[in-house]
Amino acid sequence: MGIAETSESLKARAETAPETLTDGFHLLIDALKVNDITTIYNVPGIPITDLGRYAQAQGMRVISFRHEQHAGYAASVAGFLTKKPGVCMTVSAPGFLNGLTAMANATTNCWPMILISGSSEREIVDLAQGDYEEMDQLAIARPFCKAAYRLNHVEDIGIAIARAIRSAVSGRPGGVYLDIPGAVLGQIMDAQEGSKSLVKVIDPAPRQSPASDAVARAIEVMKGAERPLIVLGKGAAYDQSDDLVRELVEKTGYPFLPMSMAKGLLPDVHPQCASAARSMVLKDSDVVIMVGARINWLLSHGKGKQWGEPGGKRFVQIDISAEEMDSNVEIAAPLVGDVGSCAKALLDAMEGEGIAPPTDWLDAVHTKAEANMAKMANRLRNNNNPMDYHAALGVLKDAITERPDTILVNEGANTLDLARSIVNVHKPRHRIDVGTWGVMGIGMGAAIAAAIETGKQVLAVEGDSAFGFCGMEVETICRYKLPVCVVVFNNNGIYRGDGENWGGGEDPSTTVFVPDARYDKMMEAFGGDGAWVTTPDELRQAVTAALDSGKPTLINAAIDPAAGKESGNIGNLNPQSIVAQARYPQVHK
Ligand code: ADP
Ligand code: TZD
Ligand code: MG
């Protein structure tokens, strides 16, 4: 019997032979499973409570969060780590909106994710008759994602999931919204017909090779280089062509600069790594090969003082998205394709072309990097009381070096900027952070996804403000017994903990928190381990114990409230006004 069967006869069969039928709940689960999606990050509620239960009963991993934003961040990070769309499932209106921030963040970061939200009665929503959690979710989702779809009939579930998966992972990856009116979940159909309606997506993200003339153009640019540089971005980390990227770097011999989430694609301790000479290589290089990295605010739009003489550079850019070319500066040689195919094409075309960089450039980069690393090494060994960021990060740097399989999650302002430059990453996709938006609150969702998707130990290094955006998810970490160690850098506030009310009033400054807050007790409240540490030695002991035990742990590390800088490394992005400067002597300049 096919889909055309009348609902009367289906109802009759439901009483006599229910095993010959299926429903929207089960088809949705089957459609995900047939595409090897086996984990859902969610917050239950009407109309998807039972969907989560059935998915769990059908062998899927269903991770329930305390807030949809963190379930969404987890799904997006799962997408980044696995190249498969991470699935976040929410209830209607408010739950959907809570998840929307994470989907927008996924799209901004080019990570594949599917936000599935249950929605209310279509007929009532469309007439704005005030249904339970009424909202036109499809329309609202559109500007925040790559694609948005709604399913209206049970027999469309297979094709809808297929469409969502392909939209999320093909070309430039991003967030996809799938609207599921609750009624569809309860619709029934013949089980065999249902099974036939499932679609397994073949080659969801087809490889894309650059054209040979584009490759030849890139080789010409590289041949002319005197001071070449490779910039690796998180698109390169995402592509998982780790061996080809390494070969490209090593065969060219060019110094490379990893963007924060590309750290570890080649180890930060690789002899060609130019991170410690970042300012110099950005300024002095003459040819820059961008590999899965956008020339956006994180690279000063490719312009200005940081980039040296205007017009002094030629760019080769590898990107899956053709529109990315010339976004901010002229690209001399665009290579549109996936990182693996482009790297392979360059490697093949490079043979015998003599593109080796002059040794005086390599020597200059090396000398600068060595000098900066020596300076930094001294700062990391200090025993200042109270403890500063450098001493604390020196300890965490050692911990990661001893356990290079640990996945580092990192957010905050000073906590982020300093950890990014101090803590080396040794393996691909072993650092997850605030991404393109610099969003606070990704930490716990990212840590949970990293632990669930890889089974590895996670170390989350969190500013106290950053942690506050997602701290309740420590209960989720404890509930699923995940190997996550959270270190909160507790400087009593945002950027610094010593801010004062500039008007002299009773209220605390807008950037400070309750001093010496015991975040460690939050983890203890749910059965995890907590520690309050004030010296590098205590921090070392606590981190070692946590990473050895694999138990959910929160280490509350007291950091000098006066050690941080306003906005970390990006204070220059704060708007300035002459009026404000005249009025307040304290204003950040
Ligand atoms: P970063 O922040 O590390 O500099 P961005 O997020 O700005 O990196 O840039 C990532 C870029 O990688 C995006 O322009 C995206 O289109 C591109 N990209 C994503 N996946 C791939 C892929 N598989 N191959 C090539 N480019 C990719
Ligand atoms: N809200 C969101 C969602 N993202 C943001 N980036 C901010 C607000 C603004 N913001 C930053 O850019 S960093 C930061 C905020 C609130 C917190 C910095 O404080 P911290 O780190 O305690 O996390 P440090 O070590 O004290 O600098
Ligand atoms: Mg802080």
Please tell me the distance between residue 184's alpha carbon and the centre of ligand 2 in angstroms.
Answer: 41
Atom of ligand 2 at shortest distance to CA of 434? 6
Q: Which ligand has the minimum distance to the alpha carbon of residue 257?
A: 1
Residue 192 has pLDDT above 50, yes or no: yes
Q: How many domains does the chain divide into?
A: 3
> Which residue's CA is the nearest one to ligand 2's atom 19?
494
- 225 and 150 in one domain? no
- 191 and 74 in one domain? yes
CA pair distance 248, 270, nearest whole angstrom: 14
Confidence of residue 585 (pLDDT cuts 50, 70, 90): confident
Cβ(261) to ligand 1 under 6 A?
Answer: yes
Angle among Cα 358, 363, 369 to the nearest 5 degrees reads: 135
Does residue 440 fall inside a structural domain? yes
> Which residue's CA is the nearest one to ligand 1's atom 5?
293
- 464 and 327 in one domain? no
Please tell me the distance between residue 208's alpha carbon and the centre of ligand 2 in angstroms.
Answer: 38
Does residue 1 fall inside a structural domain? no
Confidence of residue 583 (pLDDT cuts 50, 70, 90): very high
Does residue 63 fall inside a structural domain? yes
Please tell me the distance between residue 440's alpha carbon and the centre of ligand 2 in angstroms.
Answer: 6
pLDDT at 587: 85
Cβ(234) to ligand 1 under 6 A?
Answer: yes
Atom of ligand 1 at shortest distance to CA of 292? 12
- 247 and 175 in one domain? no
pLDDT at 589: 64
> Which residue's CA is the nearest one to ligand 1's atom 18?
235
| % of the chain beyond a pLDDT of 90 | 96
Return all residues near 455 (Cβ < 8 A) that are at least 6 apart: none
pTM of the model: 0.98
Question: Rounded mean pLDDT of 184-208?
Answer: 97
Tell me the CATH number at 347: 3.40.50.1220
Question: Rounded mean pLDDT of 43-63?
Answer: 98
In single-letter form, the type of residue at position 537 comes to D
- 517 and 425 in one domain? yes
Q: What is the pLDDT of residues 134-191, one digit of tens each?
A: 999 999 999 999 999 999 999 999 999 999 999 999 999 999 999 999 999 999 999 9
Question: Rounded mean pLDDT of 51-61?
Answer: 98
- 219 and 191 in one domain? no
- Domain residues for the domain of 243 are 212-366
Q: Which of 366, 391, 415 is a domain's end point?
A: 366
- 416 and 344 in one domain? no
Average pLDDT, the chain: 96
Q: Which of 366, 393, 428 is a domain's end point?
A: 366
> Which residue's CA is the nearest one to ligand 1's atom 6?
109
Q: Which residues of 565-574 are buried (b: 16+ CB within 10 A; e: fewer)?
A: bbbbeeeeee
- 186 and 61 in one domain? yes
Contact of 30 with 199, CB cutoff 8 Å: no
Question: Rounded mean pLDDT of 4-32?
Answer: 91
Of 297, 465, 559, the one to substitute when testing ligand 2's pocket (max ligand atoms within 8 A of C-beta) is: 465
- 249 and 114 in one domain? no
Cβ(133) to ligand 1 under 6 A?
Answer: no
Residue 327 has pLDDT above 70, yes or no: yes
CA pair distance 444, 264, nearest whole angstrom: 21
Does residue 342 fall inside a structural domain? yes
CA pair distance 552, 548, nearest whole angstrom: 11
Angle among Cα 380, 384, 390 to the nearest 5 degrees reads: 30
Q: Which of 149, 167, 196 is a domain's end point?
A: 196
Atom of ligand 1 at shortest distance to CA of 239? 23
Please tell me the distance between residue 429's alpha carbon and the centre of ligand 1 in angstroms.
Answer: 14
- 230 and 184 in one domain? no
Does residue 331 fall inside a structural domain? yes
> Which residue's CA is the nearest one to ligand 2's atom 26?
495
Residue 88 has pLDDT above 50, yes or no: yes
Cβ(401) to ligand 1 under 6 A?
Answer: no
pLDDT at 5: 66
Tell me the CATH number at 406: 3.40.50.970
Residue 2 has pLDDT above 50, yes or no: no
> Which residue's CA is the nearest one to ligand 1's atom 21?
235
Q: Which residues pair with 116 in a beta bridge?
A: 89, 178
Cβ(320) to ligand 1 under 6 A?
Answer: yes
Residue 389 has pLDDT above 80, yes or no: yes
Q: What is the pLDDT of residues 406-435, one digit of tens each?
A: 999 999 999 999 999 999 999 999 999 999
- 432 and 475 in one domain? yes
Atom of ligand 1 at shortest distance to CA of 233? 3
Cβ(292) to ligand 1 under 6 A?
Answer: yes
Atom of ligand 1 at shortest distance to CA of 109? 6
Atom of ligand 1 at shortest distance to CA of 299? 4
Does residue 258 fall inside a structural domain? yes
Atom of ligand 1 at shortest distance to CA of 235? 12
Please tell me the distance between residue 105's alpha carbon and the centre of ligand 3 in angstroms.
Answer: 23
Atom of ligand 2 at shortest distance to CA of 441? 3
pLDDT at 512: 98
Cβ(433) to ligand 1 under 6 A?
Answer: no
Tokens for 403, please give them: 């356990």
Of 107, 238, 346, the one to substitute when testing ligand 1's pocket (max ligand atoms within 8 A of C-beta) is: 238
DSSP 221-290: HHHT-SSEEEEE-HHHHHHT-HHHHHHHHHHH---EEE-GGGTTSS-TTSTTB-GGGHHHHHHH-SEEEE
Q: From the centroid of its chain, how far is CA 359?
A: 37
Q: Which residues pair with 407 in a beta bridge?
A: 458
CA pair distance 265, 313, nearest whole angstrom: 25
pLDDT at 7: 82
Residue 4 has pLDDT above 80, yes or no: no
Of 70, 421, 440, the one to substitute when testing ligand 2's pocket (max ligand atoms within 8 A of C-beta) is: 440
Label each residue of 277-292 as H, E or C: HHHHHHHHCCEEEEEC
- 42 and 112 in one domain? yes
pLDDT at 1: 42
Q: Which ligand has the minimum distance to the alpha carbon of residue 412?
A: 2
pLDDT at 586: 86
Please tell me the distance between residue 93's alpha carbon and the centre of ligand 1 in angstroms.
Answer: 31
> Which residue's CA is the nearest one to ligand 2's atom 10?
440
Does residue 582 fall inside a structural domain? no
Question: Rounded mean pLDDT of 20-24?
Answer: 97
Does residue 206 fall inside a structural domain? no
Q: What is the pLDDT of residues 547-576, one digit of tens each?
A: 999 999 999 999 999 999 999 999 999 999
> Which residue's CA is the nearest one to ligand 1's atom 24?
338
Q: Which ligand has the minimum distance to the alpha carbon of residue 291?
A: 1
The binding-site residues of ligand 2, defined as CB within 6 angstroms of any ligand atom, are 412-415, 438-441, 463-466, 489, 491, 494-495, 564, 568
In single-letter form, the type of residue at position 409 comes to V
CA pair distance 560, 387, nearest whole angstrom: 6
